[in-house]
Structure 1
Amino acid sequence: MSATDMGGSLAGGSDAAARSAPTLDRSSRGRRRMTQTNKRNLKLGLLFISPWIIGLAVFILYPVTYSIALSFTRYSGMEAPTWVGLQNYVTAFTDPMVAKATGNTLFYAVIAVPLGLVVALTLAIAMNQNVREVAWYRTIFYAPSLIPAFAMSFIFIVFLNPQFGLFNQIINVFGGANVNLLGDPTGVKIAIILMAQFGAGNAALIFLAGLRNVPKTVYEAARVDGAGPMRQFLSITLPLLSPVLLFNLITGVSGALQVFTEAYVVTNGTGDPDAGALFYMMYLYKNAFGFAELGYASALAVLLFLAGLALALLIFWLSRRLVNYDVDAA
């Protein structure tokens, strides 16, 4: 073999080895074990998130799983659960009190959630004004949401008292007669809806964060094109706030389905069906701790979870074409 041929063979062999080397490296990387540093980082990461993992398992996963299991049993909390299959669910769909509580809850949700969004957005726009005292305004608007629902309910009971409440005193000034709003089945629901608006400060802060993320150049361009304040609000503010609006809508619906504290305080914990404040969570509570029907209450809780999940999915599906995540598309 000549020197030229030998050199070509060596060159070809080296090229083949070079081409095969990355393949060997990739296969060896796939079989490579974790280094001591990676193992240590993994252990530290698990250690740091362990409180969250433990909390998720103990306070969410276990109660949810246990409630689902109890929903198929008859259980009073004093003796061992007795398997009854789907009987609790059949009873829930035929129980007239469930229908009444569901109707009251839907009445509350249909009015309180949209009204809460309007109130929260109005507060956010007010808190977003470029004035010197805006920090004080933000504190004043947000402060009512810090009052616990339990305390706010007592305040409203005194405020709406038919004998000496400020509400009736104002009515008397204009020549009207006293009104027992808390004693009327519809009036008590309206009162509880009004109570909920004092907690709009939380949603207002989220709206405020969304407003401050809207580029000012978009408004400047709109003003140059002759758009007025209302046109800017409808064409710029609302479209760019649609993701925040969707978030507040989902959380608002979730909270409306679980309204409880206000009804409990107003009815003194009785949940009287004739009082108009028998909401779904109130009836669930009465079955669990009043009637010792923990299995039936668990079934009601599972149905509430499924209803909330279905509403959330429906809202997400309906909002696909309405929610805008792109500034340029506004």
Structure 2
Amino acid sequence: MTALGELRALGTGQRRHAIDSDTRDNRAAAGFLAPWLIGLLLITIGPMIASLYLAFTDYNLLENPRFIGTDNITQMLSDERLASSLGVTFTYVLVSLPIQLAVALALAVVLDRGLRGLAFYRSALYLPSLLGSSVAIAVLWRLVFGKEGLFNAFLGIFGIEGPSWVASPDTALGTIMALNVWTFGAPMVIFLAGLRQIPRQYYEASATDGAGKWRQFRSITLPLLSPIIFFNLVLGVIGSFQSFTQAFIVSGGTGGPADSTLFFSLYLYQEAFASFRMGYASALAWLLLLIIGASTAIMFWTSKWWVFYNE
């Protein structure tokens, strides 16, 4: 064999070896991805397709689904409790979420000043976020704001006799909002990480020009932190629309008093597992998906006017 033939044979062997190596890598990657793909199909995509079908049926979990077309959608238009749950949910999102983010940002700014024992304060303030969505904390919250709860005991020091805050239609939703604000730890930690990425020379240069703390906050901190604010806002909106545990425990699963804590997710639960109207509940679930999707799309669309990326 000539030298040229040997080189060609060597090149062919190397290409074959490279192809075999790529094939083995692809098989290994497919093997590692297989559990995730199976879970995606069986746990996410499969139930979503089934839910979409059930949204156009009358299904009570005991009999076979009966196709009814768009009757469930038509019923939504005249469902007064659905309208009430939407009002409660939007009020909760629009009021409690901005307050929560404001508190989280304020505490992050304070912690960013280099307090001694920062790790302890960061862990202590993050703890409510780990506990806030649990059943135990929701039960405790109901006791705190009950007629004989700790909050009224505190007011009693000043001679004020408070009502049962969770039993009044005027204040029940406010107690759940307070619980949501109390779980500011997760966005606070994210804000703190974002603040640590802002170059200090910006503040030094602005201080040299005579800018005060408030001006620095408005002109430097907020613009450079806007991507983090946007991130927390999107996650907060998605999570707030799906809030369930707090309302379920505080209201005893009824959404009361007078439907004042009837969150959308709680109403969906009642229709599915109390009234056994799984078809209508599936339609409600898709409505919730559309609401969250539309809200997220609006936030992304408006972000071009207030979110600034430091390139």
Give TM-score, length-normalised by structure 2: 0.90
Aligned partner of residue 306 in structure 1, secondary structure: helix
Q: In the alignment, which residue of structure 2 is the partner of 1:114?
A: 98
Kept in 2: contact 1:71–1:298 (CA 8 A)? yes
The one-character-per-residue Cα deviations of 1:55-83 (angstroms, maximum 9, x if unpaired) are 22222211211111110111111111110
Kept in 1: contact 2:254–2:262 (CA 8 A)? no
Aligned equivalent of 1:157, options 127, 142, 145:
142
1:47 and 1:129 mapped to 2: Cα distance? Answer: 48
Kept in 2: contact 1:254–1:308 (CA 8 A)? yes
Deviation at 1:33, TM superposition (A): 12
Q: In the alignment, which residue of structure 1 is the partner of 2:293?
A: 309
Q: In the alignment, which residue of structure 2 is the partner of 1:49?
A: 33
Structure-2 change in CA distance of 1:224 and 1:48 (3 Å)? farther
Matched, 1:97 2:76: no
Deviation at 1:49, TM superposition (A): 2.6
Deviation at 1:220, TM superposition (A): 1.7
Matched, 1:219 2:203: yes
Aligned length: 295
1:183-262 equivalences under 5 Å are: 183-262=167-246
Aligned partner of residue 181 in structure 1, secondary structure: coil
Q: In the alignment, which residue of structure 2 is the partner of 1:17?
A: none
Kept in 1: contact 2:85–2:267 (CA 8 A)? yes
Kept in 1: contact 2:97–2:181 (CA 8 A)? no
Deviation at 1:305, TM superposition (A): 0.3
Structure 1: gaps (5+ residues): 1-31
Which stretch has the larger CA shift, 105-114 or 211-220? 211-220
Structure-2 change in CA distance of 1:207 and 1:100 (3 Å)? same
Deviation at 1:186, TM superposition (A): 2.6
Deviation at 1:168, TM superposition (A): 0.8
Q: Which amino acid aligns with 2:296?
A: A
1:252 and 1:93 mapped to 2: Cα distance? Answer: 28
The one-character-per-residue Cα deviations of 1:23-66 (angstroms, maximum 9, x if unpaired) are xxxxxxxxx99811111111112222333222222222112111
Matched, 1:139 2:123: yes
Aligned equivalent of 1:177, options 140, 147, 161:
161
Larger radius of gyration: 1
Which stretch has the larger CA shift, 222-231 or 68-77? 222-231
Structure 2: gaps (5+ residues): 1-15
Aligned equivalent of 1:287, options 255, 261, 271:
271
Which stretch has the larger CA shift, 199-208 or 218-227? 218-227
Q: Which amino acid aligns with 1:159?
A: V
Deviation at 1:275, TM superposition (A): 4.4
Q: Which amino acid aligns with 1:307?
A: I
Which stretch has the larger CA shift, 222-231 or 282-291? 222-231
The one-character-per-residue Cα deviations of 1:250-275 (angstroms, maximum 9, x if unpaired) are 11111111111111101222334614
Aligned partner of residue 265 in structure 1, secondary structure: helix
Q: In the alignment, which residue of structure 2 is the partner of 1:271?
A: 255
Determine what percentage of the aligned residue pairs are the same residue: 38
Kept in 2: contact 1:73–1:295 (CA 8 A)? yes
Deviation at 1:115, TM superposition (A): 0.6
Aligned equivalent of 1:123, options 83, 107, 120:
107
RMSD of equivalent CA atoms: 1.7
Kept in 1: contact 2:132–2:179 (CA 8 A)? no
Kept in 2: contact 1:143–1:201 (CA 8 A)? yes
1:98 and 1:273 mapped to 2: Cα distance? Answer: 16
Q: Which amino acid aligns with 1:161?
A: G
1:113 and 1:292 mapped to 2: Cα distance? Answer: 32
Q: Which amino acid aligns with 2:73?
A: Y
Aligned partner of residue 310 in structure 1, secondary structure: helix
Structure-2 change in CA distance of 1:228 and 1:51 (3 Å)? farther
Kept in 2: contact 1:75–1:293 (CA 8 A)? yes
Kept in 2: contact 1:72–1:86 (CA 8 A)? yes
Kept in 2: contact 1:184–1:275 (CA 8 A)? no
Aligned partner of residue 171 in structure 2, secondary structure: helix
Q: Which amino acid aligns with 1:52?
A: W
The one-character-per-residue Cα deviations of 1:230-269 (angstroms, maximum 9, x if unpaired) are 1111111111111111111111111111111111101222
Kept in 1: contact 2:88–2:260 (CA 8 A)? yes
The one-character-per-residue Cα deviations of 1:178-217 (angstroms, maximum 9, x if unpaired) are 2221111130100000001222111111111111111122
